[in-house]
Structure 1
Amino acid sequence: MKNIHRLLLIVFFIASAATAFASDEHDKHAHHDTHKKEKFQAGEFIMDHIADAYDWHIFSIGDFHASIPLPVILVSEQSGFNMFMSSKFYHGHSAYKGFYIAQEGEFKGKVVEKINGQEVRPFDISMTKNVVAMLISMMILLWIFISVAKAYTRRKGQAPKGLQSVMEPIIIFVRDEIAKPAIGEKNYERFMPFLLTIFFFIWLNNLMGLVPLFPGGANVTGNITVTMVLALFTFIITTFSGNKNYWVHIFNTPGVPWWLKFPVPLMPVVEFMGMITKPIVLMVRLFANITAGHMIVLAFVSLIFIFGEKGAAAGFGTSVFSVAFIVFMDILELLVALIQAFVFTLLSALYFGMATEEHH
Structure 2
Amino acid sequence: MTGNSIKIAAVARFAVSCLLFVGFVFPVRAEEAGFRPDKVILEHISDAHDWHFFTVNNHPVVWHLPVILYVPKQGFTVFSSAKFEEGRVPYDGFQLLTEEYIQKYHLDPQKFLEGHIIAVHPDGSPNLDKPVYDLSLTRNVIQMMVAALLMILLFTKVARRYQEAPHRAPHGWQNAIEPIVLFIRDDVARAFLGEKADKYLPYLLTVFFFIWINALLGLIPGSANVPGNIAFTGVLALITLFFIVISSTRQYWGHILWPPDVPILVKIILIPVEILSFFTKPFALMIRLFANMLAGHLIIISILSLIFIFGGLAVAAGWGFSIVSVAFTVFMYFVELLVGFIQAYIFTSLSALFISQAFETGHHHGSEEEAVI
TM tier, smaller: 0.7 to 0.9
2:230 to 224, 242, 257: 224
Give, in angstroms, the shift of residue 81 of structure 1.
1.7
Aligned match of 1:250: 256
Aligned match of 1:24: none
Residue type at the aligned position of 1:330 = Y
Aligned match of 1:342: 345
Is the partner of 2:218 in helix, strand or coil?
helix
Aligned match of 1:91: 86
| 1:112 partnered with 2:107 | no
| 1:179 partnered with 2:189 | yes
Residue type at the aligned position of 2:175 = S
Residue type at the aligned position of 1:176 = D
1:204 to 199, 210, 213: 213
Residue type at the aligned position of 1:174 = I
Give, in angstroms, the shift of residue 226 of structure 1.
0.8
Is the partner of 2:226 in helix, strand or coil?
coil
Which ranges in structure 2 are unaligned for 5 or more consecutive residues? 1-30, 100-108, 364-373
Give, in angstroms, the shift of residue 161 of structure 1.
2.4
Aligned match of 1:313: 316
TM-score w.r.t. length of structure 1: 0.84
Question: 1:100, 1:111 within 8 Å by CA — same for their partners in 2?
Answer: yes
Question: 1:148, 1:164 within 8 Å by CA — same for their partners in 2?
Answer: yes
- CA–CA separation in structure 2 for the residues paired with 1:63 and 1:158: 54
Aligned match of 1:301: 304
Aligned match of 1:30: none
Question: 1:183, 1:356 within 8 Å by CA — same for their partners in 2?
Answer: no
Alignment deviations for residues 248-302 of structure 1 (CA, whole Å, 9 cap, x no partner): 22122234333212xxx22111111000000000001111111111011000111
Residue type at the aligned position of 2:359 = T
- CA–CA separation in structure 1 for the residues paired with 2:113 and 2:342: 34
CA RMSD of aligned residues (A): 1.9
Question: How many pairs were matched up?
Answer: 318
Question: 1:187, 1:356 within 8 Å by CA — same for their partners in 2?
Answer: no
Aligned match of 1:192: 201
Which ranges in structure 1 are unaligned for 5 or more consecutive residues? 1-35
Question: 1:307, 1:318 within 8 Å by CA — same for their partners in 2?
Answer: yes
Aligned match of 1:356: 359
Aligned match of 2:68: 73
2:98 to 103, 107, 112: 103
Residue type at the aligned position of 1:138 = A
Is the partner of 2:290 in helix, strand or coil?
helix
Identity across aligned pairs (percent)? 42
Aligned match of 1:170: 180
1:234-249 correspondence runs (5 A): 234-249=240-255
Give, in angstroms, the shift of residue 42 of structure 1.
0.8
Is the partner of 1:118 in helix, strand or coil?
coil
Aligned match of 2:146: 136
- CA–CA separation in structure 2 for the residues paired with 1:139 and 1:268: 44
